[in-house]
Amino acid sequence: MHVMVTGAAGMIGRKLAERLGQEGALAGAAITVLTLSDIVAPPVPAGFAGAVSRVTADLAAAGVAERLISARPEVVFHGAGVVSAEAEMDLEKGYHANLDGTRMLLEAVREVGGGYRPKVVFTSSCAVFGAPFPDVIPDDFHLTPLTSYGTQKAMCELMLADYSRRGFLDGVGLRLPAVCVRPGPPNKAASGFFSAIIREPLAGRDTVLPVSEDVLHTHASPRATVGFLIHAAGLSRDVLGPRINITMPGVCCTVGEQIEALRRVAGDAAVARIRRAPDPLVERIVAGWPHRFDAARARALGFVAESSFDEIVRIHVEDDLGGRLPA
């Protein structure tokens, strides 16, 4: 099986490639070729026995998607794009990376024709929903995004569903909650503080909390997120039906509850490294996001997330800190 990952240099793309390389199989089939694409060179997963092709290019640039798809990968994990605050602050960049890149990819698949119909797993976002919200967002809640990022993701969801309906590909879109705790340096996501208030104190560094502690959100770890993507690749169209864009499960809690989970895992000294500094832009963006999801359909389809935020903190310690808390 030939598997392709776009956005493979990003945190989720990198962890997905590592997992695919370790397991060497997907949906019961051995992976023989792994194509990794991003605007910077993606790392090669250690221990993978098959062939690895790395493509360093802008997916939305002319000819790039056609070149990638010409090898006819059976499964495409499409995660390339820019994050929420970056898409909000730079309109042209957001539409270029998030919408144009997806359109180029799907068009390249369509143009191959000849019965080629790959599985395309798209990383969408719960930012496709917009206020006013009920207490719990049901699976069939309307798409009325209040940010450019959410708008771009919603447009891609519709295109994915239409190309699947027409038989050009077999698509599934995953509306991810906040992925937390993200390792590595901070990115430009408006949701970045959800990870920073855990990651930085655990690394012995001070960090800033730009919103109130009563902000409520839903989270899933990078480990669970990679699990979502891999599980989605094995779902048939008969199981999914025509509603191929699905809201993923997660742990719903307030920022204050996140901080208390950090305290239980790492103690008062870690919590003392969090400084409050309100940021109006981040507060405005976060205020337009949904908070709690029913996600009954995802759970019925076998998607599994964590059961507590304490578990999410411990997963970060296990997966990214070598299982040890800093002194």
Catalytic residue ranges:
149
SS3 221: coil
Within the chain, residue ranges assigned H as helices are 11-23, 64-69, 84-89, 91-94, 101-112, 148-165, 192-202, 222-233, 237-240, 255-266, 268-271, 280-287, 296-300, 309-320
Measuring CA to CA, which residue among 16, 80, 6 is closest to residue 223?
Answer: 16
Vertex 99 angle, CA 33 and 114, to 5°:
50
Q: Are 201 and 241 in contact (CB under 8 A)?
A: no
Q: Report the relative pairing of strands 216-220 and 251-254 from DSSP bridges.
A: antiparallel
253/242 Cα distance (integer angstroms): 32
**Residue linked to tokens 């993606």:** 42
- Distances 14 to 19, 21, 91, 226, 320 between C-alpha atoms, Å: 9, 10, 26, 10, 13
- Could you please report the per-residue DSSP string of 105-137? HHHHHHHH-TT---EEEEEEEGGG--SS--SSB
Percent helix, percent strand, percent coil in the chain, to nearest 5? 40, 20, 40
| Token pair in block for residue 17 | 């490639």
SS3 170: strand
76/98 Cα distance (integer angstroms): 16
The side-by-side arrangement of strands in the sheet containing 216-220 is 178-179, 216-220, 251-254
281/147 Cα distance (integer angstroms): 12
